[in-house]
Structures are given as C-alpha cells and as structure tokens.
Amino acid sequence: MKNSLKDQLKNTLNHTPLSKDKLFTAAQHLVPQQRLSEVAGRFAASRHPLVKKAFVRTFAKAYGITLDEYERKSFNAYESFNDFFTRELTEEARPIDATEHGIVSPADGSISQIGQIEQDKLLQAKGTYYTAGHLLADNDDGNYFADGSFATVYLAPSNYHRVHMPFTGRLVKTRYVPGSLFSVNNTTAAGVPDLFARNERLVCLFETEFGMASVVMVGAMIVAGIETVATGKLQRTDSVQTQEHDMTLNKGDELGRFYLGSTAIVLLPKAAGTKWQAGLDHNTIVQMGQLLGTTNAK
C-alpha cells in the first residue's frame, strides 16, 4: 500500500537537513507533476515566433548559454524551445576518448555519485541507497549487476542534453517505466528516498564485450519527454512498456535526448572489473566523451 501524502511529506522532512531544502523538496509532493510537465511540454514544442523567442532568449540569458560549441550559431535558427534545448554540438566539440576498453561519460553534466554497487545497492546521496532491481524495474536484471559498478551523471538545465553511448554495445531491450517527476538535483536526491527508482525512466539494456550493461535515462520535474534513436519520442503510459531491439551503437554514438533536464545512470556488471578514474567524485564536472574508467574486457 502506498504511503499517504502526509506520510510522504513527513518522510521527506525527516531526511532533508536544511529547512529551505526541506521546503523545496516537500513542495514537490504537492504540485501536479505530470500536469506541469504536460503544460511545459506544449509551450516548449510551440513554433509560434513570439513564444519561441521568449522561451529561448530568456532561458539562454538566465543560464548564460552561448552557442560557440553548437552547430547552429544563432538563437533564431531554432524552430522551438525543444529544438534549442536539444541543440547539437559541432562535430569537433566533444572528442570521444579512445582509451582501449574505456568507459566514457554519456553526457555533459556533473557526477552525482560514482563507485561500486554494494551487493545490489547504489548510492543515491550520503547515507541513502536504492536497489538496482527497483531502478531497472526487474529483480533478475538487478541481481545481474550485483557487486558491479555505476556512475550517475546529472544534467543541469544549461548542459548539452543529448545522451551518448559510454561503451560500444548492441541494444537488445528498452523498458519504459512510468513514475513520478521529482527534480533530480542534489537537494532532492538527498531528500527523496529511492528518487531515481521512483521517477519516470527508460532502461536501456546492451550486450557488450564484458557482458550486459545498462544506461538508464531518468526523467525529472518539467521534463517534457525522453527520446532515443531506437524508440523515437516516448509516449507516457501508466504501465511498464518493454521493446526488443537489435541495434549496435558505437561508443560516442547518440543514444537519446531529454526535453528539459535530467539524469543518466550507467550500470556495469561485476565481470567488467571497472576501475574508475581517480578524482571523480560528487559534483565533479564532466563532458560527454570524457574517460570515466576502464574495464578488464579482452
């Protein structure tokens, strides 16, 4: 049985250390998350010149976004806010690290957490864990990643919002999991238990040289959609939706994109023997294609 709203709010307040953070996190239980995202999505998709201009210019100014690294150099070149938000980089902007058996960052952003999966548990924030089975919405898949490795990359609103392959692999399955749309920033990660396993998400499963691996694209507050090269833009449903695939993607290839900010989580099996690069820690800034670690694949 689901906890009542009162119980959820009490749990949130008990888990968040600062009063302003408690209020921010608790307020997210009260807002109509899905409805808010739907409304934001309609405005973000609008091609009306005045709507587009207002959204794009205001957002770019608020977050200090310039177009130096991007293919289209003029704000007027984008057909909608969504088109601007998922803007493409120039080909040379993000070289893909060529280290043999290397794992690269799937996105621009910051490391939320990185390390080993302790039995089946992933670190969400200091003292807070969630299980791989819950995240993947499948206990057997979760058990497969027991004692493996993971990296969680948070994409801030100002970041490049396409997600790329951290390794070469054959996409064999996607699993859309409906859920909440809490913010995924550090404040909410510290205050909402099982955050990444509660939010809407798309689980992507791959066959690789070191066994099965996964990239999970996690939705967030006001995220108007998730899209991948295999599925197209996902339609929200009330039930888990699974698709079979047979698509090989090379390291650095585009996997998908978010319409507004979110998080990408990479899961690697114990057999990969992943060694993360020294110096990667909570809040470390990373770029897509940057070397995060290496595996012992042969």
By annotation, the residues acting in catalysis are 108, 164, 262
**207, HSE (Cβ side, Cα atoms, 13 Å):** 8
Residue 35, Cβ density class (10 Å: 0-12 exposed, 13-18 middle, ≥19 buried): exposed
What separation in angstroms does the CA of 122 have from each of 29, 81, 241?
A: 23, 34, 24
Sheet with 109-116, side-by-side order of all strands: 241-249, 169-177, 201-208, 211-218, 262-268, 149-155, 109-116, 285-286
Using CA atoms of 247, 252, 257, 262 in order, give the dihedral in degrees to the nearest 10: 120
In terms of C-beta density within 10 A (0-12 exposed, 13-18 middle, 19 or more buried), how is residue 69 classed? middle
Supply the angle between the helices 19-30 and 5-15 in degrees, to the nearest 10: 160
- C-alpha 74/C-alpha 51 separation (Å) is 17
For 165, counting Cβ atoms within 10 Å of its Cβ (0-12 exposed, 13-18 middle, 19+ buried), the class is buried
Q: Report the alpha-carbon distance of residue 141 to residue 269 in Å, rounded.
A: 10
Q: How far is residue 161's CA from residue 159's CA, in Å, rounded to a whole number?
A: 6
